[in-house]
Chains A and B, each alone.
Chain A
């Protein structure tokens, strides 16, 4: 099956810093989403981005499907950005099955 690798596994930032999270995947995908898991466990949608670039406030994401990677940018980080960020993909033959990466644990310090 498809492999999804996220890097770095852990990230400690000072408030106001910028950061880039990376997601590499080993096969063609028709769905790629970035999620932020809140302290209560819910996965909050950040981006639905199987290809291209999107921006939402201080967050933006880029997926280069031909090179099989996606990047999530966090600018001017805030303490509320702390948590685990997951990249999840669906391949063309895996009917509704998300394959998740292991996540990046982000800690933003005041």
Chain B
């Protein structure tokens, strides 16, 4: 079966712009979570969605937002980009929120210049 698909794979944006990243989970999976990976901070949790509802949110500013659609696909949006937002953004999908194995996509590498 198809894995977790993230688009685009690479992105270059200018400071101040906004960006939208997409994540299509494994078919049948209802939970999607997002993570930011930087060399300095490691892997940090952004938010988690289950059945279109945000169930948990990490410690990120309000410029970071997300949503989940009825088909479980999820998008995250970052507004007013800063240089520090340059990172690898990973999404994970799982059948349920807890007690089930999660699978990660290939990631979107965002560079802010």
Contacts and interface: CB of A to CB of B under 8 A. Distances in A.
A95 B55 contact: yes
B104 A43 contact: yes
B101 A41 contact: no
Interface residues of B, number: 28
A42 B98 contact: no
A59 to B, nearest CB: 16
Nearest to A50: B99
Interface string A73-110: 00000000000001010101011111110110000000
Nearest to A35: B104
A33 interface: yes
Contact of B88 (A41, A45, A103): A41
Given A41-B37, A41-B109, A96 B56 contact: yes
A35 B55 CA distance: 24
A96 B35 contact: no
Given A31-B98, A33-B101, A40-B106, A98 B35 contact: yes
A90 B88 contact: no
Contacts of A94: 56
Interface string A31-68: 10101000011110100101000000000000000000
Interface of A: 30-31, 33, 35, 40-43, 45, 48, 50, 86, 88, 90, 92, 94-100, 102-103
Interface of B: 31, 33, 35, 37, 42-43, 45, 48, 50, 55-56, 58, 88, 90, 92, 94, 97-107, 109
